Amino acid sequence: MSKHFLHMNTTSSPNKSGLRKWIIAISIVIPIAVAALFGIKIEGIDFSFLPPIYAGINGMTAMLLILALYFIKNGKVQQHQKTIQFALVLSVLFLLCYVAYHMTSDSTPYGGSAKWLYYTILISHIFLSVAVIPLVLFTYLHAWEGNYQKHKKWAKFAFPIWLYVATTGVVVYFMIKPYYLH
């Protein structure tokens, strides 16, 4: 992908405004849709194989985020861009797998002795996964528009939250794994 990928016509404010409205809409619709889909159960489809896959996707996303940070700190802008784009694709893939699993399977209760730890991590993971959507999308938009100063300012918040969400997704999986029904 060329360097020009990040540069769009910044003189067209209706386009910029439209993109911002889309980000806000997406940031509202995704959490509501995911919550609503938890109320839908599709019988006869077995997606019980998905949790280790989407946990792996979360783990790969976390590694890509660290790699993207390495690239940008070392002036490798193009590698940073590609790595972040791949992390975004993986995040969408995670969401699709997560929703598919939860629409076809009952939630698994945690049965361990560290319930307070599990639920603390899970609740923070869920709330921050909602918050990270607009943070990541606006951070990406600022870079795409070529406003790197604003991109860097937003990334200081978006990066650690996105990394936390990706990492705790893996932690939650390993904590709940022994209690999945097979």
Residue 140, domain CATH: 1.20.120
What is the Cα–Cα distance from 131 to 125, expressed in whole angstroms? Answer: 10
**101 falls within a domain:** yes
Q: Could you give the number of structural domains in the chain? A: 1
pLDDT band at residue 182 using 50, 70 and 90 as cut-offs = low
Instruction: Indicate whether 174 pLDDT > 90.
Output: yes
End-to-end Cα distance, the chain: 44
Examine the pLDDT at 150 and tell me if it is beyond 80.
yes
Residue 76: both structure tokens together: 């490798």
Q: Is residue 14 part of a domain?
A: no
- Domain hosting 102: range is 19-179
What band does 38 get if pLDDT is binned at 50, 70 and 90? confident
Let me know: does 16 contact 10? Beta carbons within 8 Å.
yes
Q: Which pTM does this prediction carry?
A: 0.88
Residue 1 lies in a domain: no
Q: Considering only CA atoms, which of 174, 49, 38 is closest in space to residue 112? A: 174
Query: If you search the block for the tokens 């790969």, which residue do you land on?
Result: 60
